[in-house]
Amino acid sequence: MTNPTELKYSKDHEWVKLEGDIAIVGVTDFAQKQLTDIVFVELPENGKKVEKNKPMAVIESVKSVSDVFSPVTGEVVAINESLKDNPDTINKNPYDEGWVAKIKIVDNSELDGLMSAEDYEKFTAENH
């Protein structure tokens, strides 16, 4: 799966899509491959305040339990309820139906520090 070019990527393997002042956040294909079969997702609560680079959700696979870090600061306005019954959506469709949360952000410039698809491609090739 190639990393969609319209998204931005964090060092912790999250992706962000900006729609106005809403940032949609999920984890990358690289991440879901590392995690292997996902069995449970602990979603944040609606209305929760999240901070850039702080944990906001937890993804559990058979082999590990990993934090999902928020790449932006803001308030959670929507969570992907379908992950409660079908956590494996993240494995099947990490960039699309596998989104984790929608966050209303205050500072668009936070996204400047994130990587483009190309840079993220290089990053994952180098470091792993």
Interface residues toward another protein, by CB under 8 A: 37, 39-40, 42, 60-65, 87-88
Which of residues 61 and 70 has its CB atom nearest to another protein in the complex?
61
CB of 68 to another protein, least distance (A): 14
Residue 23: partners with Cβ closer than 8 Å, 6 or more residues away: 16, 17, 71, 72, 74, 102, 103, 105, 111
Q: Judged by CB, which is closer to another protein: 38, or 72?
A: 38
Q: How far is the CB of 100 from another protein (least distance, A)?
A: 17
Nearer to another protein, 12 or 88 (CB): 88
Torsion angle of the four alpha carbons 79, 57, 26, 66, in this order, in degrees rounded to the nearest 10: -150
Token readout for 36 is 């292997």
Q: Which amino acid is at 127?
A: N
Q: How far is the CB of 85 from another protein (least distance, A)?
A: 9
